A and B are shown apart, each in its own frame.
Chain A
Amino acid sequence: MAMIEAEHLRKHYRSGDARVMALDDVCLTIEAGAFVVLAGRSGSGKTTLLNMLGALDRPDAGALRIAGHDLLAMNADERAAFRLHHLGFVFQAYNLIRVLSARENVAYVLQLRGMGRRERLSLADHWLAEVGLAEFADRRPDQMSGGQQQRVAVARALAAKPDLVLADEPTANLDSHTGAELIDLMRHLNEREGTTFVIASHDPAVIASARMLVTMQDGRIVSLEER
């Protein structure tokens, strides 16, 4: 079953008088349960594509379906609801709400979904244990390292059992050892939970972990490699 069906996506930005083509006729199909890495140099369009897949941005043209839902037919509120119920995010940095503890950060999305207090806190503790942070549950982001914060973000992304987890340069601010641990964790959870992961990165360690590698250049997909 296809998790992502992107057809002829186009997106351009204005930079001064110049017209920059961020996505140029991108077509991509990703099956459910895949572990995909979008690779490419800065400005290649991988973050723009990730934003499209995350219903955070809209293409100028093309068609996009995620888990069977037509994203381009949705208004802003519907896209917000779609993100809440179908997607999980791990960003490059500053992933967490700084006034909430690790447990509250994980439970926050569950609460937005309407889950009861006891159930969501229990689930948050479970996922913090899954990412090896059981003893950090009561700490706030500024009391944790960058790697620990990224693992909390992974726990938050997975706790709500999303169809798709999107990660934008998740290892960019981590040392290589911590970055490798994070990738191992995501890979492990992908295999165990069957959740689809799409990661935008130019980190060689992340690229090496891909089961499907999509390489982009100047807004176009230049290679697609199944491993």
Chain B
Amino acid sequence: MLIYLRLGWRNLWLHPWRSALTSVALAIGIAALIFLTALNEGWMQQVKGNFALTLTGHVQIHARGFEQSHRLADSIRHPDAVIDYLRKQAGVMEVAQRLRVSGLASSAEGNGGAYIYGVEPEVERRLSRLAEMLSAGAWLSPRGGHELLLGDGLADRLHVALGDKVVLMASMRNGEIASEVFWVRGLLHSGVLDIDDSMAIVPLGMAQHWLGMGEGVTDIVLRARDAEAVPALVRHLRQHLDPGTWEVLSWSDIDPMAQQWADFADAYTWVVLLIVILVVLAEVLNTMLMGLHERVREFGLMAALGVRARQLFVMVLWETVLLVLFGGTIGLLLGGALVWWYGLVGIDLSRFAVAFSFMYMEPVIHPALTVESCARILGAALCGALVAGVLPAWRAARLEPVEALREW
């Protein structure tokens, strides 16, 4: 095998310019793919992370039926025991309770529909990104009270500002309508329409009291230590929590949009990968066929000396693999260096910040390279090399020694 590697390597450099040009084309292609994949991975991590932690959390646990009905009658009446259990799970970083209800927000000058969330102020600050979206005023105080955070779009519709009074109205568990007065303590701006135009956040204790929920909540929300481990965490919880009582949902179960974006971006990367590999491998095939044409007599000589057809086949295939490995390794190093640098400094796309915030993206993207991505690109290049190498290898193996030795 070593002799074929040595022969292959030296044969490649018989025409250094030709091999160098092919290697450069390969390296640029692979480097571009590495960078594109890392960019995609970086912003998809952002999108998925931001999407999950903006509001949904990594995992939500409801009483059976709540996800379908969204009625307070399907709430969790005594959450303490299950919260204690969840806090003991290794993959869980934070556990928060919420009371969620649709209602109406009214001020002296207007009214509008609202998603009303009762949250634990300090726990929520650690679990979600809601506190980071504060554009004016302050986050809910630990002691609670009649404090209200409003999405800035909703505040505009109500014509209210910090310190103004707002009345929230919603159905109680028993179906009766209840209202409560709150004072605006802060305004939120996320770039996400559902939050900015509809969100009203109040302290959990106040919401429970107002809506007659006792200690009842609608959601127990988890933040996982590792976002990639969420599927495993969900499987584990589904195995250990009674499915007749609880429903355990991951962020992508609750709203598959971000996951679908990620899947689409992944599919898009595969298409680009395929196109680049095809173009580059056409170049490799051309190089190998030119080499074959020039070396017909040499292959005839080797066959005459006793090299078997399949050994010639393997030798030419090795040459192709070596060429791709050489160019691919340079491309991997080049692409890796670009990813490393831009991973540190980030790519500033703040001029597109409005559009980005709508898609849960941040204005600065940090490309992120995974071993899986590198393996996928190099694997695809090598598979392509084997495919591109088959034709010249097959031709070399089929040469009749007598005919080949007549070539000059």
Q: Which of A56, A82, A83, A111 is the most central at the interface, judged by chain B CB atoms within 10 Å of its CB?
A: A56
Flag B124-142 by CB within 8 Å of A: 1 or 0 each. 0000000000000000000
Contact A111 B302 (CB under 8 A): no
Q: How many residues of A contact B (CB 8 A)?
A: 26
Return the contact of B309 from the options A77, A82, A87, A91 (Cβ within 8 A). A77
Name the A residues within 8 Å of B401 (CB-CB). 56
Cα of A84 to Cα of B304 in the assembled complex, Å: 8
Name the B residues within 8 Å of A76 (CB-CB). 308-309
On whether A98 and B14 interact (CB within 8 A), knowing A91-B301, A91-B405, A111-B3, the answer reads yes
Contact B7 A100 (CB under 8 A): yes
Q: A53 to nearest B CB, angstroms?
A: 12
Interface presence of A34 (CB below 8 A): no
Contact A97 B302 (CB under 8 A): yes
Contact A89 B10 (CB under 8 A): no
List the A residue with the shortest CB-CB distance to B404: A56
Contact A80 B14 (CB under 8 A): no
Interface presence of B339 (CB below 8 A): no
Contact B307 A112 (CB under 8 A): yes
Name the B residues within 8 Å of A95 (CB-CB). 301
List the B residue with the shortest CB-CB distance to A84: B306
Interface presence of A81 (CB below 8 A): yes
On whether A97 and B301 interact (CB within 8 A), knowing A56-B401, A56-B402, the answer reads yes
CB-contacts of B376-408 with A (<8 A): 401-402, 405, 408
Name the B residues within 8 Å of A111 (CB-CB). 3
On whether A109 and B305 interact (CB within 8 A), knowing A51-B402, A56-B402, A57-B402, the answer reads yes
Interface presence of A202 (CB below 8 A): no
Interface presence of A65 (CB below 8 A): no
Name the A residues within 8 Å of B308 (CB-CB). 76-77, 80-81
Interface presence of B298 (CB below 8 A): yes
On whether A94 and B402 interact (CB within 8 A), knowing A77-B309, A100-B7, the answer reads no
Interface presence of A54 (CB below 8 A): yes
Q: B296 to nearest A CB, angstroms?
A: 11
Contact A85 B402 (CB under 8 A): no
> What is the interface of chain B mostly: helix, strand, loop, or mixed?
helix
Contact B3 A108 (CB under 8 A): yes
List the A residue with the shortest CB-CB distance to B302: A97
Flag A86-107 by CB within 8 Å of B: 1 or 0 each. 0101010011111110000000
Name the B residues within 8 Å of A112 (CB-CB). 305-307
Q: Which of B14, B304, B309 is the most central at the interface, judged by chain A CB atoms within 10 Å of its CB?
A: B304
Q: How many residues of B contact A (CB 8 A)?
A: 20
Contact B3 A97 (CB under 8 A): no
Cα of A44 to Cα of B176 in the assembled complex, Å: 115
Interface presence of B46 (CB below 8 A): no
Cα of A97 to Cα of B303 in the assembled complex, Å: 12
Contact A80 B11 (CB under 8 A): no
Q: A140 to nearest B CB, angstroms?
A: 9
Cα of A98 to Cα of B295 in the assembled complex, Å: 10
On whether A98 and B298 interact (CB within 8 A), knowing A56-B401, A57-B402, A111-B3, the answer reads yes
Return the contact of A108 from the options B297, B304, B305, B405 (Cβ within 8 A). B305
Return the contact of A54 from the options B7, B297, B304, B307 (Cβ within 8 A). B304
List the A residue with the shortest CB-CB distance to B7: A99
Q: A111 to nearest B CB, angstroms?
A: 6
Cα of A57 to Cα of B3 in the assembled complex, Å: 27
Cα of A100 to Cα of B306 in the assembled complex, Å: 17
On whether A94 and B7 interact (CB within 8 A), knowing A57-B402, A77-B309, A80-B307, the answer reads no
Q: Which of B3, B7, B307, B401 is the most central at the interface, judged by chain A CB atoms within 10 Å of its CB?
A: B401
Taking A84-B306, A84-B307 as known contacts, 13 extra A-B pairs with beta carbons closer than 8 A to each other, sorted by chain A number, are A56-B401, A56-B402, A77-B308, A77-B309, A80-B306, A80-B308, A80-B309, A91-B405, A94-B297, A94-B408, A96-B301, A98-B298, A99-B11
In order of increasing CB-CB distance, the 8 nearest A-B pairs are A84-B306, A99-B10, A83-B306, A80-B308, A56-B401, A57-B402, A56-B402, A80-B306
Instruction: Using CB atoms and an 8 Å cutoff, list the residues of chain A in contact with chain B.
Output: 51, 54, 56-57, 76-77, 80-85, 87, 89, 91, 94-100, 108-109, 111-112
Instruction: Using CB atoms and an 8 Å cutoff, list the residues of chain B in contact with chain A.
Output: 3, 7, 10-11, 14, 297-298, 301-309, 401-402, 405, 408
List, sorted by A's number, 9 A–B pairs whose CB atoms are closer than 8 Å.
Answer: A56-B401, A57-B402, A80-B303, A81-B308, A94-B408, A99-B14, A108-B3, A109-B305, A111-B3
